[in-house]
Structure 1
Amino acid sequence: MHIIIVLSIAISAIAGIVGYYLGYEYHRRRLNNTTEKESGSESDVIKERVMSVRNHTMRLTELASLKKMVEEFERDSEIIDLSINRLEVVLLKLQSAIESDDEAWAESLLTRFSKHLRQLLHEGASSSIEIEETNGHLECALSLLSAMNHNTWAYEINLDRFNDFDKTRTIKSMSITPWVLEKLWDYTLKSTISKTVKLEVTSDTYEVLYRLKVNGITYERKEAIWSGST
């Protein structure tokens, strides 16, 4: 897939250069008084060639963009599928908590799991979601993972560098929450998280950067901001 995209972009670039050259040559010939005037038919041929190359360039660019979107969708689909499969493990953990004598743990895990499941279903019903709402979903996801480890570790979500103007704007649904869950899953399953998990959210009108820090390791992911709100 990467090779196809690179080839498509390369072909687009070459076609663009050729189109630019033909366009430049066409205008140069028209403006150069010392050059013999081209016949009307030849000028029309050049025009047609320029337009043809430009049209091909547009189509190739669209194709490259489409293939890139498909690749990103396939990658995200794998993460989403894993995230859904993880719910079965959480249910087993919940069953274990209910069967134990630790009622506080069972209640905490049940409450957070139920909320997370509702949010997951809500987010999956739309193609986009408000960024502020996503931040709320992230808080719930982190609290669920912490509850799985008997709340032995804390978490912080830093929004100091998050632009208030972007709160009601949107990003792609089912992109960030499943990503955070997947990055922290093995740590949670092995109960190896120490101290505090930190999640920093920053925005610059064009994209949102999520920086996740756990056990001294930093993971980053960017999401493009869509115009408007859901």
Structure 2
Amino acid sequence: MSPNPCTRRRHRSPRGFTLLELLVIVLLIGLISSLILPALAKARQKAVARESLDYGRSIAVAFQNYAKENDGALVPISLPKPGETEKANWVKLLDECGDSSLKARRKRFEIGYSRRLSRLRNLSSINKPSMTVAFGDTGEIENPDETNPDKWREAPRKSKHDKALVFETPDDKNWKTSRKRMLNRHLGRSSVIFADGGAVLVPVSVVGFQYQAGHPRALWDNK
């Protein structure tokens, strides 16, 4: 006797998602991404900021070593190479006084040297090294007329090799038109390295570029 067809187990094919269900899933994925991705991006930026600050500390150590090895002389912006027409800039000069990782790490970060300090002859010319900024995040800005340093906007680089190695200060005659300045590069903060080797992440306005030489809040000044 053949089995009753009514008693046979019916196998249902798996039900697919409806258009509405797919839409809900897509919306949920988008919502989760909108919450997670910004947090991940911010975490990455914080990590880069810490690396930049650590690199700045290494520069400060090399800066101090250079002075010790040269009777207290501060590293110049550039120095002629013996027997060569090309000059060695301060970055290459400090490579010889820092740790082995200094040269490799500088490709990732853009730290500039204070033009004002580079004009001083000796480390002893800095009255308060712990309150005098020697290095910091530097770039070319788009709005040199802006008086609030925290509003300076970095201009796009023409090439990856086009780096600003020096930042200007308010005592320079070309200050109002100069585009090479310290700026905020890490979540509204700048890597700030003092002449004594101290380093902090603070808004660039803390350095006091909005003040003239001699002002107690002008940390770019060596007085």
- Scaled by the length of structure 1, the TM-score of the pair is 0.31
Bigger Rg, which one: 2
Structure 1 or 2: more helix by fraction: 1
